[in-house]
């Protein structure tokens, strides 16, 4: 059975989360989202999130 897809825990992001990026028991779609966009970059998936 395949795991269920989750939405990224970043409040500005609507992308599908990736288990490879998890922090504090929350799933994120990218390292930028998981780190709170400290570098000012979005996730790179075209959704426009910047933290």
Could you read off the pLDDT tens digit of each residue along the chain, which spans 51 residues? 445 578 999 999 999 998 889 999 999 999 999 999 998 999 999 998 985
What is this structure's pTM? 0.81
CA 23 to chain centre: 10
- Residue 1 is predicted with a pLDDT of 42
- Residue 11 is predicted with a pLDDT of 93
Domain boundaries along the sequence of the chain: 1-37
- Residue 20 is predicted with a pLDDT of 86
Scanning the chain, the segments in alpha helix (DSSP H) are: 31-34
């Amino acid at each position: 059975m395949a795991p269920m897809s989750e939405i990224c825990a970043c409040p500005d992001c609507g992308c599908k989360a990736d288990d490879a990026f998890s922090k504090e028991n929350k799933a994120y779609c990218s390292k930028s989202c998981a780190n709170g966009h400290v570098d000012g970059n979005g996730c790179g998936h075209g959704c426009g999130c910047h933290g």
